[in-house]
Every structure is written in C-alpha cells, then in structure tokens.
Structure 1
Amino acid sequence: MAPHTGLLTAAVQVRGLVRRYDERAVLDGVDLEIAPGEFVALLGKSGSGKSTLLRALAGLDSAVAGTGDLVVPAQVSVVFQDSRLLPWARVLDNVVLGLNGAGERGRQSLEEVGLAGRENAWPNELSGGEQQRVALARSLVREPELLLADEPFGALDALTRLKMHALLRKLCAAHQPAVLLVTHDVDEAIVLADRVIVLDQGRLIAQEQIELAAPRSPADPGFAAVRARLLDALGVSW
C-alpha cells in the first residue's frame, strides 16, 4: 500500500498497518497519528519493527497493507544513520541534489547547520558529525512537512550527539516539520520529543507525553520518572 498524500488535519495518519515477512508480522495492525509540527520519538527493541514503520511512511516499502489508510504529507524527507552523501559531489551539491537553481537556499541551509564556508568541501574532508549536519541540511532545504529520522546520531560519539540534539531541536523549531525519530536511546527520546511511543512485536504498546521544561536534564526527578516508565514498557530492569 503506497502512502496517500493530501491536505491533512494530522501530518501522519496510519490505520491498521501490517507488514509481513513470510509468516511473521513485523507490523501488526499499527495505528498512529502525528500532528503537524509534533516531534515523536519511536522506541523499541531490535526487530520490533521501528525501521519498517519508518520505511513505510517514507514510501520505501510497497509491501505493506492496512485496513484503513496510510496518509502522509506530500513533502517528506528522510535522514539515516549513515549520512549517505555522494562522495564524488561537493557539500553544496549534495545539499541541493535534485533541486534546480537552489544554490542560495543550499548555502542558507548549510549556514543553519553551522557549515557556512564548507560548500566546496568534499564529504571525506568532514567529520562524522559534520556529515550528519550536511544530511540534515539536505533534508530541511526541501522544507518537508514530515521529517523521518532513523537513528541519525547512532554512530556519533557522546559529545557530538549532545551537540546534534541541540541543533535538531533548533532546526525543528525554525522549520516546524512533524518529526518521527527512531532511536534505541531512551534519554535521547525524552530530551528531544514532545511524545514518545513504544513499539513491541509490531504493535504500539505505550506512549508518554513529555511535558518537561527545556532544557531537559536526566538529573531532573521528572525526567527519571518518565525514563522509568519507558524502560518498564521496554521490559528493561533498572
């Protein structure tokens, strides 16, 4: 089932989404709604179907079925754990890939992610964190209504991850896409998201509305309480 696009009261509307591999249901009747501008983090154990759900929303998996609709906005961008930059193209060319006459927009997008002046660099001249900044610039230069992020900071060191968290929140506040972030990191989910949902055996089993004031600190008792509930939903002893 290919995603439908159109005018929405919600940025994402999913009803009864199913994805099977042989006899195993990786997604088993998923219902999900994401409001325009809402930042949702998706947690789950390995193999729970997180990336499968993201691929379905991105229109990258045609072998999904549903009792209802899979509806997404017309403008969707995806950021992966690997920056997926073209090594033979300079940074600016990577950002505006497929966009005609968008050089100035690309430069502005690079400035937003802190890479002004690196337009003519080659990808292999950048650090891992800088490459992910380029990937974010490439996604946001298209002004998506929905940003899908599949563990985009999973390969980065701890300090770089913290910097990227702050940058992503800043960019999302400026561009206001709806966001679905797939992550294994409970603290990352709480720091970034307006709402955290938990997927287990192909079903959404829990959600937490995050109402903590920013900046959110793991030292905050409220943060610890949310973490404990999410870990419990994930079946993790703490």
Structure 2
Amino acid sequence: MASNDLDLGVWTRDLVRSFGERTILDRITLTIPPGQFVALLGRSGSGKSTLLRALAGLDHDVEGSGVLRVPAKTAVVFQDSRLLPWQRVLTNVLYGQPRARGAAGRALLSEVGLAGRERAWPSELSGGEQQRVALARALVGAPDLLLADEPFGALDALTRIRMHALLRDLVQRHTPTVLLVTHDADEAITLAQRVLVLDDGRLTLDLPIDLPAERDPGEPEFQRIRRTLLSALGVVPAAIR
C-alpha cells in the first residue's frame, strides 16, 4: 500500500488497522517532513509497532481513505539485532544491499565503533555491539527513512546512553528522516525534534522539542516536557515528581 513520495518524508491519512473487532490504528493522519527526527511514544499495546510496520511496508492489511506514502529507500532497526549468526559481521552489514560495496560496509562499521571487527561472528559481540552492526546495516544503503522499533530496549542503562549518542551522530551525518518507536519518555526527549503520543490507536499529542542538541535531563525544560509526556500517557502526578 506504500508508494514513493518525492519529497522523501512520510504522509498518512485516516490510516486504519484492525485485528478482528479490535481497532489498533484508528484513522491515523500524520506528516513527517524530510529530515525530521520523530519519536513515537506510547504504552504497550497502543499501536506503536503496528504503525511502524505499516510504514515499513511489512503490513499490507492497513486501510485508509487516503494513501500511505513513504520514501522508496526505507530501512528498519528492531529491538532484536536480527543478525545472521552464520554470517560474519561485514556480510551482515551488506546483507540485502546488492549495490553496497565492502568499502561502504567497512566505513559504516568504523562509524559505529567496530572498525577491525569485520570478520567477527555475531556471537562474539555484546548486545550493544550487535545493535551497532544493525545500525550500520540499516544505513549502508543510504535510506531516506529510518524506522527504529525500540532498538535499545534490551540494553542496559549505560549502553543505552552510549547508543543514544551514537544514533544522534549517525543521524546528523546521514540525514535520514527518522521515526523512533519507544516507551521511554526520557529517550524520546533526548533524541527527537518532535514527540508523538499514541494512545488507544490515536495520536493524542504532537509536541515539538525545542532543546539544544546536547540535552541535560536535569534541566527544568527537559523535566517540564517529561511531565507533559507522562501526563499524556496517563501517569499520575505523584509518580512523576
């Protein structure tokens, strides 16, 4: 159902996805300009991953009165790195990219801090290193849209902080449009230029994030935005002080 969009952004109108009698996405209308970094925040079961799968072209049963437009060159990063265990790291980076050369794969591995690990097996890498390979694989084809479905959700806190800095640097360097699905308000504020809240299949909040590139969670404005997002998620005030 997805078609090419010449402006390399994302556009949906009245997007609907139902499973039996349950509506997961309820008339989603969304525009993401080219190059914008958007975080999609929501509770478990709110429809976040369903929307991402629709944008990725992995769900062909979405409906809508309009159309779903995304760039032709789209890449996805999942919470699980989904590396091929029987292939070495460089082969994993180049997998599915017939036009990508070994030099491009090695350059991306260097960018993600894994120079010299081209011939390693995935089992020899830590969880954070495997996600670095997944990011390199997603970017080696120079996508115009990068979709990330809770890519750091399985990592420990310190590794997540490092991965946030890495993703920020990679996006600045490669300039794709980004939609990051997360359930972590702090992660959304740390990385995104704009945060959407999805609740019961509907977009209930669309909040621009006007903060410096380097963001301090201790700053008053960061905390104000955090309270706004958590309130939109239904978190009671006593729990967010």
**Per-residue CA distance 1:118-174 (angstroms, 9 max, x = gap):** 000000000000000000000000100000000000000000000000000000000
TM-score by length of 2: 0.96
Distance across 2 between alignment mates of 1:67 and 1:233: 28
RMSD: 0.8
Q: How does 1:162-177 map to 2 (within 5 A)?
A: 162-177=161-176
Q: Tell me the secondary structure at the aligned position of residue 148 of structure 1.
A: strand
The corresponding residue for 2:5 is 6
Q: How does 1:78-89 map to 2 (within 5 A)?
A: 78-89=76-87
Question: How many corresponding residue pairs?
Answer: 236
**Per-residue CA distance 1:198-217 (angstroms, 9 max, x = gap):** 00111000021000113111
The corresponding residue for 1:233 is 232
Q: Tell me the secondary structure at the aligned position of residue 3 of structure 2.
A: coil
Q: Which runs of 4+ in 1 moved over 3 A?
A: none
Distance across 1 between alignment mates of 2:156 and 2:13: 37
Q: How does 1:80-119 map to 2 (within 5 A)?
A: 80-100=78-98, 102-119=101-118
Q: CA deviation at 1:6?
A: 3.3
Distance across 2 between alignment mates of 1:152 and 1:214: 20
The corresponding residue for 1:68 is 66
The corresponding residue for 2:28 is 30
The corresponding residue for 2:43 is 45
The corresponding residue for 2:125 is 126
> Which amino acid counterpart does residue 88 of structure 1 have in structure 2?
W
> Which amino acid counterpart does residue 154 of structure 2 have in structure 1?
A
The corresponding residue for 2:152 is 153
Distance across 1 between alignment mates of 2:214 and 2:59: 36
Q: Tell me the secondary structure at the aligned position of residue 40 of structure 1.
A: strand
Q: CA deviation at 1:227?
A: 0.4
**Per-residue CA distance 1:79-135 (angstroms, 9 max, x = gap):** 000000000000000000133361111000100100000000000000000000000
Q: How does 1:170-189 map to 2 (within 5 A)?
A: 170-189=169-188
The corresponding residue for 1:17 is 15
Residue identity over aligned pairs, in percent, reads 64
Q: Tell me the secondary structure at the aligned position of residue 167 of structure 1.
A: helix
Distance across 1 between alignment mates of 2:178 and 2:134: 15
Are 2:198 and 1:202 aligned?
no
Q: Tell me the secondary structure at the aligned position of residue 109 of structure 1.
A: helix
Distance across 1 between alignment mates of 2:174 and 2:97: 18
TM-score by length of 1: 0.98
